[in-house]
Amino acid sequence: MPFYGDHRLEWMFARRSLLDHGIIATGATDYPPGPFKPLLGIHSCVTRVDSDGRLWGASQNISVEEAFKIYTINGAYASFEKDINKVN
Q: How many angstroms separate the Cα of 59 from the Cα of each of 11, 51, 53, 55?
A: 9, 19, 16, 10
First to last CA, the chain: 44
Q: What is the pLDDT of residue 82?
A: 83
The length of the chain is 88
Q: What is the pTM of this model?
A: 0.80
- pLDDT above 90 (res 1): no
Amino acid identity, residue 65?
Answer: E
- pLDDT above 70 (res 86): no
pLDDT in tens, 23-62: 999 987 766 666 778 888 899 899 998 888 888 889 999 9
Query: Within 13 Å and on the Cβ side, how many CA atoms surround 56?
Result: 24
For the chain, the structural domain boundaries read 2-78
